[in-house]
Amino acid sequence: MSTLDVHSRAGDVLREKELAEAFTNLQVNVPVIHQCVVAYLANQRQGTASTKNRSEIKGSGRKLYRQKGTGRARVGDAKSPIRVHGGVAFGPKPRSYRQHTPKRLRRLGLHNALADRFQNQQCILVEDFTLERPRTKDMIHLLNALNAQGKVLVVLDEHSPNIHLSVRNIPQVNSCTWDMLNVYQVMWHDTLVITEKAADKLAAKFVDTHSDAEG
């Protein structure tokens, strides 16, 4: 079992919590994490960049001047790619950059990313909490009390509109529920603030997956 401290909203250590070794002490597979991150970023691309080639440029196709006798280089029409306002040679066209990643690989990548954060002590467990009303100041006090440094991701066990609204005005601080996590989110943020119930659900999910894979 791996042991982590559970903190209160005031930053005090309330108790120790044990998480399964199969969840936190996984041997990190960097290539799997890299593949998942590359696929995620590729899937965010719109692929709408477009240029016109010489056949799509509006203009005459006549030869600008005669082939020989001028002392100048031979030239075709004004739509040639080497001329100003001509067509673009080998320019981008609308295309899909989407990369298909199997569900099993995505789950493995997320498990590895979380294990990396746990092993590098970049996860902070906090007792389950709610806010009576949206208030950014309360979230700032909480993060300061927990000494959460850098870019912070607050992982909740269930959606909380008040917490979401309180977090979104803080630069480089985001929130999401445990079932909406992805590899890119985990790796982009420096610190994960995870509620106790969210940690339990994540551990149950990946320990069960690990058991199924071994079976």
> Poorest-confidence range of 127-131, 133-137, 144-148?
127-131
Write the single-letter amino acid at 46. Answer: Q
pLDDT for 213 beyond 70: no
pLDDT, position 27: 93
Q: What is the pLDDT of residue 129?
A: 84
Please spell the DSSP secondary structure of the chain, one letter per residue.
Answer: -EEEEEE-TTS-EEEEEEE-HHHHSPPP-HHHHHHHHHHHHHHT---------TTTS-S--S-SS-SSSSSSPP---TT-TTSTT-PPTT------------HHHHHHHHHHHHHHHHHTT-EEEE-----SS--HHHHHHHHHHHT--SSEEEEESS--HHHHHHHTTSTTEEEEEGGG--HHHHHH-SEEEEEHHHHHHHHHHHHHHHHHHH-
Q: Report pLDDT for 139.
A: 93
What is the rounded CA–CA span in Å between residue 116 and residue 55?
52
pLDDT in tens, 30-48: 999 999 999 999 999 999 9
202 Rama sector, left if φ>0, alpha if ψ -120 to 50, beta otherwise? alpha
The pLDDT of 128-139, averaged and rounded, is 90
44-99 pLDDT, tens digit per residue, is 999 999 999 999 999 899 999 999 999 999 999 999 999 999 999 999 999 999 99
Q: How confident is the model at residue 120 (pLDDT cuts 50, 70, 90)?
A: very high
4-22 pLDDT tens trace? 899 998 889 999 999 998 9
Reported as a pLDDT band with limits 50, 70 and 90, residue 209 is: low
pLDDT the model gives residue 215 = 44
The pLDDT-based confidence of 207 (bands split at 50, 70, 90) is confident
Per-residue pLDDT at 178 exceeds 80: yes
- The amino acid at 127: E
CA–CA distance, 126 with 187 (Å, rounded to integer)? 20
**According to the model, what pLDDT value does residue 1 have?**
61
**The amino acid at 28:** V
| Percent of the chain surpassing pLDDT 90 | 83
Model confidence pLDDT, tens digit, residues 103-115: 999 999 999 999 9
Q: Which class for 123: exposed (0-12), middle (13-18), buried (19 or more C-beta within 10 A)?
A: buried
Q: What is the pLDDT of residue 10?
A: 87
Query: What is the set of domains in the chain, with CATH numbers?
Result: 2-45+98-214 (3.40.1370.10), 52-91 (no CATH)
Mean pLDDT of the chain: 92
